Structure 1
Amino acid sequence: MLGKLTVRPMLNFSKYCMISAGIWRLPLPTDNPIFNKIYIFYSAVVNIYFPLLVSSMCIQFVIVFIDENADKSSGKLFKHFSYLITLACVEVTTILCQSARVKDIVRYIMEEEERIIRSEDEEFLQHHYEQLHYAKKVNKYLFAVSFGVAVSMAFDNLHRRFQVEKFNRNHYERMVKPLPYELYYFELDREKYDKVLLAISYVTIVVTGFLVASTKMIFISCIIFVQSALTGLQIRFRKVAFSEDYLKRLAFEHQRIVAFADKLNEAMKFLILLEYLLNSMNIAAVSIQFISMDLEFTPIFYFCYLCVQTFTLGWMANEIKIQSLTLADALYATQWYDQRIEVRKLLLTMITRAQKPLVLTNGPFDAMTTESTLRILKASYSYISLMLNNYQ
């Protein structure tokens, strides 16, 4: 059963989410020319529409902030602010996911998994099989919380529209029904085009859900792949008997893993820094909504999404660091004392290299770990206190 694993399964879920979001830049799973043309058109629309969406949301936020007659209640203002931060971060991540560097990373994982599946080591294959299930489980959780926010936004908006419609009917008013998020519509008649704008908003929510989920899952899957490669290497090092040629092959694989982890860090470090800086403000802005707005589902799901995303990234990055250091213990646990002097020298060199941990960094700063996650939460608490003092 282990020898019949599907090729490239670790990225399958992420791949189909990226295709749904229009940001997959490697060959599609079908050669149908009609589907390919439709996808190219859809991808172009997504990549043009979302920068315009973020720009429109930013303009509207500035207008509301400087307009003396605008509703500046803390709940609505911070709700707009949190959406703006999230979409801006998603847009940056979307651009990054379509870069040549990320395409090379994804292509490397695909090629490595094809090579792994051809292995005849049953214990190694079993380990890889377990890591696939682990990656799928994590990705499903990320997908669920991302779309939980999207569904709650649609539900809360329908509830508010129903309340406005009921108010208009009882008081003979013509209040404009709210849309899921605030945008600048360039003097467009909101009441006249309400149904069209509502349909576009809901389609945008769905596509954004795929964008948010896929941009997070692709990097989490890459991190899990590095963890899997490191733990798989430990399994192979712990074999009782190995030759000098076998050890050299494993040493070469270790160098490849180190090079790949460094390349992944180069692709992710400024994204991690961006999330590190913005997530604390975003968690604070969402928390204010709990205090200052009527009970809605969106802040609850949105808070859960931010916490799951932040803790998942910190946990995964910390695991890479731990597993890279544990590799030295696996090397020392071998029967090195029974080997020839050349083998012992090679083992010593590898142990020395394994003393330097593999890390994902916050831009040019320190490593991302679980302690970094706690710092984000502490910063969020400070922002909440500051926001409450300013809006009391």
Structure 2
Amino acid sequence: MSRHPFRDVAIIAAFNTPQARVLEGHTAFSITLDAARGVLAEAAVEVTEVDAVFSKHAPELIHALGIGPVWNSNSKSGIAGVLQAASLVATGLAQTVLLADGEAGIYTERSATAPWTRPSNEFVAPFGLYTAAEFGLIARRHMDRYGTLPEQLAEVAATIRNNGHVNPDAIYRGRGPFTPADVLASRMIAEPFHLLDCAMTSEGGCAVLITTAERAAELPGTPVYILGGGLDTLGPAYRHAPVWDLTGRGSDIPNGYVGRRAARKAFAMAGLRPADVDVCELYDPFSFEIIRQFEAFEFCGDGEGGDFVMGGRIAPEGEFPITTDGGLMSYSHGGGMVQLSQRVARGVHQLQKQCRSRQIADARVVLCSNGGAGALFTDVVLLGSERP
């Protein structure tokens, strides 16, 4: 490439509403609106500057904020939304894009798995193929093939939960500290996952604001740049058994390593390698997913992820600190699209030196991910402090 496609694009702010197991008095839309207003205030951008909105509540936000007519997209937020919104700005179709989503009042059947992970499907529901079982199938296959150990999964879970333990904004703040032995001692949910290997469920909102690099230079916040990205999807999440060996379009990359193509595209666009990454804001629905992602993204070889995460490498002071806010296991798991945006928001905060805890001092490049092999998709974006 003679010119980076996102050179003229910047993320100027990211904002999280309060997160809680239950947000009394809120609906999914009301907490989304709070997130939208919060990110605009954070960026010191007038609402009238927004000319595109990405959200499952996009039409409602446009009306409530009084900003229409503008570009409306009800496509998902998270990394997919960020890359699509950045493309609008890069091509001149929009100048300031608001991405916001929230969830509240949706998860009311506390005895059941979260509703966004159990669509009505006659080939799934009768057999109890709930989320932990789906991701457990992937983990079990890897353990059988490569000898990955429960202690290695527990190392991941303890690390992420300890990040949340010290985060004043995390729902599970102060619950630790945790050791790998604590994880292994928690009750079994779906083999090989113990309770502390699994994400929680909660409510909250998140928003990101993307604009031109020229406009970002005029604003008080520190701009963050999109260095590269990619999206990999093999099918609808939580409707089909997540077979490790599933492939498509002639690819030799199995679902077990979904996201490898996306990561390769992201690194090629950025002109970087995995060794250049300072922080890994990895999506953490279950502990094994971190091990899988390190292999899929080629930080290490196939089957080497279990050993790779040991010895302090993924700790805040390690070579590749992971999921610094406590992630889905400890910070928040706000359902639907909210959780996908959280990784991007924390990557932005790391590069802006605004993390309330676990700020990585010299962070210049952050890798953010969404999804997992249990859900048949994985998305990747590389964020940086220097304009590409």
- The bucket for the TM-score relative to the shorter chain is under 0.3
TM superposition score normalised by structure 2: 0.24
Structure with the higher fraction of residues in helix conformation: 1
TM superposition score normalised by structure 1: 0.24
The structure with the largest alpha-carbon Rg is: 1
